[in-house]
Structure formats: structure tokens, C-alpha cells
């Protein structure tokens, strides 16, 4: 139960002030091998929170390294998104130390030492998959930049942060999707399917892990179906009523549980004036509840069945449970500011096409310094422009 709640909490909680990895230690010790997934969830949450705060620093590198180790423990594949995210985060971390005009003025050499010699040196030692061609290219570029002021300037002026953030976002998207349903979600769904129609359960079984489905959806689907299956006999109704009672109890328990965790981790929200929408489980966990029933339970909620005292919470907006829902990572982002191509970039592109043809990805990787601000699509578009003029 601890584990389920922790997992659920981690998936839904979006609070930059909370460190998810602390959550695990705040819980009773559930440390065993089968907790790897939970740990991954925690790390993903930390990465996500870090992004929300807008910090891309060495702590992020730590998290990515931890994530890699956990994935290895799980015998998962290390995906390209993780490698790219690590690479660009490392570059971003280094570039933070390039604020002086001269390489020798600031802490650039320290950064090289800390990040590339020590940290990435260790990765090389254990032959980590994170050490990619791209990463090595950056390493040599940074080392060269220390000697060559011109290259130093060039790197210094590039916008690495944008790339780092988009790679990290992509990484999160993929990893969340890989995690699939939370235990609570799949458990709830299993129960629902079993109860509704044992045959349908078998048919729908293969949909269980589908990303993007939510308990909310289940409840909708269930309600729409309820209209069709109107001839429920009385026995069944009685049975369902007793099940409802059970769900209500569980929902209350969970709600209380989550509130406690919330208080433990983030005292600033402890007064509970604002309904924390991460906490209302009753709507989603009890799909059977009809309106009258729900308000009644909400109202009489001062004390839960276990006797915990909680502040009264107004019913918040129902949330989509799944962190996988489309749109969560796809904020309507404003158009990128327009930036005309420099002759240098155009040259790099021309050289690249000569060497690699139209594989924009390879071209970008081969000269990621000059082309740092240009996406693969940008290269393609620019090439189209260049051709158009001939």
C-alpha cells in the first residue's frame, strides 16, 4: 500500500519545492528489489520538478546518472533520449562557467576538470552508454576552446540551454510512457473489468498498459456503458452497493494518506486553505459513485474511518490522473524568435551536405557547435531556401 500511494503521489504531484527522492525516505522502508520502478518514478519526478524550476545544473546530471543506473538494474535499454539529454545537460553545465570573455578568467578550467575529467571520466571507466559520439565531440570542442579564444567565443554565444531542455523534456515523455500505468490504475482497472464483465476483461486485457488512459476515462467509459446495460438485476445492484462502500473507504484512506505525505514534505501547504487538486482521489477511485452519494461523503468527511482528523476540502476540479495524457508536456509554446542564418552557419550546412548528403541529423551532430541553435528541421528548411535561389 505504501508503495502504491508513493507511486501515485509521485506521478501526480507537480511541486517544484518538493524533492521526490526525499519522499522515498519519508515513507516506511519499502526498500527491496521490486522498488526500482518506484525509484525511477521518483527520479523522473525530480527531473521534472527541476525543469519546472528552470534549473539545468549538475544536480540534473546526477539525476540522469542515477536514472541510467536504475534502468540498467531493470535491464532496460538506455534510450537515445537519455543519452542526448545527458550530453546537452553536460554542455549546458559547462557553458554556465563561460561567462568571462577569456577562457582563463573564470572557472572554465574548473568546470572542465569537474564535469569532463572527473564526472565523464568515471562514465568512461564503467563504459557507460551515456558516453556517445556526440558527447565526445563536445568534450573535444570544449578542450579546444580552452586553447582557442575564437572557438571559446563561438561556444560561449550559443544557446545550449534550449537544446538541453528540449532533450530533457523528450526524455521525460518517453520514460513516463515506458512506465505505463501506475499500480493503482491497473489495479482499479482490473477490478472494474472483472466486475463488469469477465469476458470483456479478457478481450480488453491487452489494453491494460496503454499510455494515456486514465481512471477518469475508465469511469466515463463505464458510465456510458451503464446506459446500454440497463437490465441489471437486483442481486447485482446489492453487490455493487457493497463494493461502493469499500471504495469509499479506500478513497478516504488514500486521501488522508496523501495529505499526510503532503504535509510532511511541504509544510507551506499544510493549512489546506487551497484544495490541492493532486489529492482528490474520491472522484477517480470510485467510478460508481453517483452525485448525491459523492457530496454526502464529502460533507461528512471531518473524520475518516481510521479516525484521522483532516481539514475539510472543497471538491476540486477533477484531474486527469495519468501523467501520460497528451498535452501535459506539450504546452502551447510560443514561436521561437526569428534568427537569420549567419554566413558561418550556412557554410557549415553546405560542408555538411557535401559530406553527409541530406541526413540533417548527421550534419548537426558533426558540427554541433556552429549549428547549436538550429534544429534538424531548420537545416532542411535552410537548404530548401538555398536551393530555391539557384
Partner DNA sequence: GTAGGGTTAGCG
Partner DNA sequence: CGCTAACCCTAC
What residue ranges bind DNA (CB under 7 A)?
80, 335-341, 358-362, 374, 376-378, 380-382, 385, 388-389
- The smaller minimum CB distance to DNA, of residues 54 and 388, is found at 388
State which residue, 173 or 382, has the beta carbon closest to DNA. 382
Minimum Å gap between C-beta 132 and DNA is: 12
Buried b or exposed e, range 200-222, using 16+ CB within 10 angstroms: ebeeeeeeeeebebbbbbbbeee
Helix (H) or strand (E) holding 373: none
Q: Which is nearer to DNA, 280 or 345 (CB)?
A: 345
Sequential DSSP letters for 351-372: HHHHHHTT-HHHHHHHTTTTTT
Q: Are 279 and 258 a contacting pair, CB within 8 Å?
A: yes
Tell me whether residue 231 or residue 335 sits nearer to DNA (CB atom).
335
Cell 546518472 -> residue: 65
Q: Which residue number, 203 or 326, has a Cβ lying nearer to DNA?
A: 326
Q: Provide the minimum distance between the beta carbon of 178 and DNA in the complex, in angstroms, as a whole number.
A: 17
Q: Alpha carbon of 357 to those of 225, 344, 346, 380: distances in Å?
A: 55, 18, 15, 11
- Least distance to DNA, CB of residue 168, Å: 15
Q: Count Cβ neighbours within 10 Å for each residue of 25-41 and write b for 16 or more, e otherwise.
A: eebeeeeeeebbbbbbb
Compute the distance between CA of residue 112 and CA of residue 4 in angstroms, rounded to an integer: 42
Which residue, 53 or 361, has its beta carbon nearer to DNA? Answer: 361
Cell of 45: 519526478
CB of residue 130 vs DNA: minimum separation in angstroms? 16
288 vs 359 by CB, closer to DNA: 359
CB atoms within 10 A of CB 302: 9
| Rounded least distance, CB 62 to DNA, Å | 25
Could you tell me if 278 and 14 are in contact, meaning their C-beta atoms sit under 8 angstroms apart? yes
What's the closest the beta carbon of residue 84 comes to DNA, in angstroms? Answer: 8
| Closest approach of DNA to the CB of residue 273, in Å | 37
- Write the DSSP symbol of residue 324: T
**Do 301 and 312 contact (CB within 8 A), yes or no?**
yes
First to last CA, the chain: 67
323/352 with CB nearer DNA? 352
Secondary structure of residue 218 in the 3-state scheme: helix
**Are 172 and 329 in contact, with CB atoms under 8 Å apart?**
yes
| C-alpha to C-alpha distance for 194 and 222, rounded to whole angstroms | 13
Closest approach, Cβ 373 to DNA, in A, equals 8
- In the complex, least distance from residue 380 CB atom to DNA, rounded to whole angstroms: 5
Of 228 and 389, nearer to DNA (C-beta) is 389
Amino acid at each position: 500500500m505504501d508503495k502504491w500511494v508513493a507511486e501515485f503521489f509521485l506521478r501526480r504531484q507537480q511541486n517544484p519545492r518538493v524533492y521526490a527522492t526525499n519522499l522515498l525516505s519519508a515513507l516506511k522502508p519499502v526498500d527491496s528489489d521490486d522498488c526500482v520502478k518506484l525509484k525511477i518514478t521518483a527520479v523522473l519526478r525530480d527531473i521534472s520538478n527541476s525543469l519546472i524550476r528552470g534549473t539545468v545544473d549538475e544536480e540534473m546530471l546526477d539525476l540522469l546518472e542515477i536514472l541510467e543506473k536504475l534502468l540498467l538494474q531493470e535491464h532496460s535499454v538506455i534510450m537515445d533520449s537519455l543519452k542526448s539529454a545527458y550530453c546537452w545537460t553536460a554542455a549546458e553545465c559547462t557553458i554556465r562557467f563561460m561567462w568571462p570573455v577569456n577562457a582563463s578568467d573564470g572557472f572554465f578550467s574548473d568546470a572542465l576538470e569537474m564535469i569532463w575529467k572527473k564526472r565523464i571520466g568515471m562514465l568512461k571507466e564503467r563504459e557507460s552508454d551515456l558516453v556517445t559520439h556526440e558527447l565526445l565531440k563536445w568534450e573535444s570542442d570544449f578542450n579546444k576552446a580552452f586553447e582557442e579564444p575564437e572557438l571559446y567565443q563561438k561556444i560561449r554565444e550559443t544557446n545550449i540551454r534550449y537544446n538541453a531542455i528540449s532533450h530533457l523534456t523528450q526524455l521525460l515523455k518517453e520514460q513516463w510512457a515506458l512506465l505505463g500505468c501506475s499500480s493503482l490504475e491497473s489495479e482499479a482497472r482490473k477490478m472494474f473489468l472483472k466486475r463488469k464483465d469477465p469476458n470483456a476483461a479478457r478481450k480488453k486485457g491487452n489494453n491494460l498498459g496503454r499510455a494515456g488512459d486514465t481512471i477518469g476515462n475508465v469511469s466515463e467509459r463505464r458510465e456510458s456503458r451503464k446506459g446500454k446495460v440497463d437490465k441489471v438485476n437486483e442481486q447485482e445492484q446489492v453487490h455493487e452497493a457493497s463494493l461502493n462502500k469499500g471504495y469509499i473507504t479506500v478513497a478516504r484512506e488514500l486521501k488522508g494518506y496523501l495529505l499526510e505525505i503532503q504535509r510532511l514534505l511541504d509544510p507551506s501547504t499544510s493549512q489546506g486553505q487551497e484544495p490541492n487538486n493532486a489529492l482528490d482521489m474520491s472522484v477517480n477511485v470510485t467510478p460508481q459513485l453517483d452525485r448525491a452519494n459523492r457530496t454526502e461523503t464529502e460533507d461528512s468527511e471531518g473524520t475518516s474511518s481510521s479516525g484521522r482528523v483532516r481539514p475539510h476540502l472543497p471538491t476540486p476540479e477533477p484531474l486527469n490522473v495519468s501523467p501520460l495524457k497528451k498535452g501535459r508536456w506539450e504546452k502551447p509554446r510560443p514561436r521561437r524568435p526569428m534568427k537569420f542564418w549567419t554566413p558561418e552557419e550556412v557554410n557549415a550546412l553546405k560542408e555538411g551536405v557535401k559530406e553527409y548528403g541530406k541526413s540533417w541529423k548527421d550534419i548537426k551532430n558533426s558540427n554541433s557547435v556552429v549549428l547549436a541553435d538550429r534544429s534538424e528541421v531548420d537545416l532542411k528548411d535552410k537548404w530548401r531556401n538555398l536551393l530555391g535561389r539557384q
